[in-house]
């Protein structure tokens, strides 16, 4: 089992280009697994973890409801935002500057074969990261992602999640609001959940800006501990 994860920070990159790159890495792992099975070989499958920040974009998961996007095509254009229907789970979400997006493209057979556990570990890596900033957060029953004030009238989501998995290979991932412009969330019903607010780390801390590189380091630390993995920059 290969527990080394190749880390790539893509910087600010268009959503569609990044999605295509994810698909390319994903297909490479799946094809290798098929080859191993067909030819009875045991070549190691690689794992990847992409950090990226996207220009303003709204994405709708395969089970999502288009009515949760509250903008017309012209209004999207006026806001300088793109819109894509994609092949992850979940409903609608927003990505943009000030948000840390993480895409683990890993072969779970290198770690454990349990999608539920995988999602809980993703959430846990974010929860542990936010706790380092003194943020009290956790899960909301029946809803993925990381929440503050779950179960109260003040519930607000700070990290959205949506993944796709095939042959135990994952893609897509999480979006943590660090310094994001919350105004862009007013144009959607985030994740299709009415009456729930969205927040950012800098708002919760009451400061103008949080060091995003520092947040990334903390996420990687907790992710590597939970998955018993080693990151290598590529």
Which DSSP state fits 97? T
The b-or-e profile of 18-47 (16+ CB within 10 A means b, else e) is bbebbeebbeebbebbeeeeeeeeeeebbb
Contacts of 108 (CB under 8 A, 6+ apart): 114, 115, 118, 165, 168, 169, 170
161, 191, 215, 219: which one is catalytic?
191
Separation between Cα atoms, residue 202 and residue 28, nearest integer Å? 38
* DSSP string of 129-176, one letter each residue: HHHTTT---EEETTEEEEEESTTSTT-EEEEEEEEEEETTEEEEEEEE
Alpha-carbon dihedral sign for residues 29, 94, 62, 215: positive
Contact between 57 and 180 (Cβ < 8 Å): no
Active-site residue, 137 included: no
Of 234, 180, 193, 219, give the one whose Cα is nearest residue 5.
234
Of 192, 133, 187, give the one whose Cα is nearest residue 157.
192
Give the position of tokens 């999502």.
64
Q: Indicate the helix (H) or strand (E) that contains 93.
A: strand 92-95
Point out the residues that are catalytic.
191
């Amino acid at each position: 089992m290969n527990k080394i994860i190749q880390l790539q920070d893509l910087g600010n990159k268009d959503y569609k280009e990044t999605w295509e790159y994810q698909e390319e890495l994903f297909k490479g792992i799946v094809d290798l697994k098929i080859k191993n099975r067909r030819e009875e070989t045991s070549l190691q499958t690689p794992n990847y973890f992409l950090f990226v920040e996207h220009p303003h974009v709204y994405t709708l998961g395969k089970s999502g409801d288009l009515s949760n996007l509250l903008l017309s095509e012209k209004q999207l254009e006026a806001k300088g935002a793109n819109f894509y229907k994609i092949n992850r789970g979940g409903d609608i979400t927003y990505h943009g500057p000030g948000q840390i997006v993480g895409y683990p493209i890993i072969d779970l057979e290198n770690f454990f074969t349990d999608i539920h556990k995988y999602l809980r570990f993703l959430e846990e890596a974010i929860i542990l990261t936010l706790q380092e900033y003194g943020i009290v957060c956790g899960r909301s029953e029946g809803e993925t992602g990381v929440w503050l004030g779950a179960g109260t009238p003040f519930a607000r989501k700070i990290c959205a999640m949506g993944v796709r998995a095939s042959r135990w290979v994952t893609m897509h991932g999480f979006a943590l609001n660090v310094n994001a412009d919350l105004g862009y969330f007013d144009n959607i019903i985030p994740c299709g959940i009415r009456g729930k607010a969205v927040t950012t780390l800098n708002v919760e801390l009451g400061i103008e800006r949080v060091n995003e590189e520092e947040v990334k380091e903390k996420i990687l630390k907790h992710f590597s501990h939970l998955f018993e993995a080693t990151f290598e920059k590529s």
